[in-house]
Amino acid sequence: MIKADKIFIDNINEILSNGYSTEDGKVRPHYSDGTPSHTLFIPQVYEKYDISKGEFPIITLRPTAWKSGIKEIFWIYQDQTNELSVLKEKYNIHWWDDWNVGDGTIGKRYGATVKKYDLINKLLDGIKSEPYGRRHIMDLYQYSDFDESEGLHPCAFMSLWTVRGDYLDMTLVQRSNDFLVAGHINKIQYVALMMMIAKATGYKPGIFTHFVQNLHIYDRHTKQAKELLDRNPKDTQAKLILDTDKTNFYDFTIDDFKMENYDPIKPQLKFELAI
């Protein structure tokens, strides 16, 4: 069993067996029929993958839309916009539509914040000029942006970057993670971002670490969780590769990425989203 599958199975079992239920309190998200979306959750979950040694956080137990996930990273960090029309027309991604705040955007969030504070260019310049600096941080959790507009507060909100010899390591911090729906898309997205930043600054992708404060399974997803536990994981380790000679961060496209040895178990499962 590959590392990602083992961690995935262990976390599902821990949530279902020992997770804390939110049913005794008020929650913000609701399903489309208006019912409150309660969860079972565990706090402070940590994962670590050494990309340089062939480890990669993708599971075999269900398909993961890795190309769409990376395209969302382009929307946030290359296009640096919150406009849903760009996400839909340029990348054919529609999963943010339910978070439209009424003006065709998701509010002053994600890409708009990246642009406002020039986060990518500051990160690239910082790594190049002072590689061993300990201040290479991108933080999307900006309260002034929350005051400026409505919108979902960023879930994957902070990344911390460290140069280690020939390698660039990165830690992703999430306040909240809908484990079955987005857990591995988020990991793949930020490994791809790490590869892009590493390529643009002259390093190799090293260690990817993921910390989630609240890892949860929604009450209408427990059937799918149990179905995933009944599946037999494969032993094939997939590998994401950024296969290009490009070094300009803004020039990378989805065609520059390749996923090798990816053979997930089907069929795909459907999940009712909590909005």
| Residues annotated as part of the active site | 155
CA distance 63 to 264: 5
CA 238 from chain center: how many Å? 17
Name every residue whose Cβ is closer than 8 Å to that of residue 188 and which is 6 or more positions away in sequence: 57, 58, 64, 66, 69, 70, 240
CA distance 197 to 250: 10
Exposed / middle / buried, residue 252 (Cβ in 10 Å: 0-12, 13-18, 19+)? buried
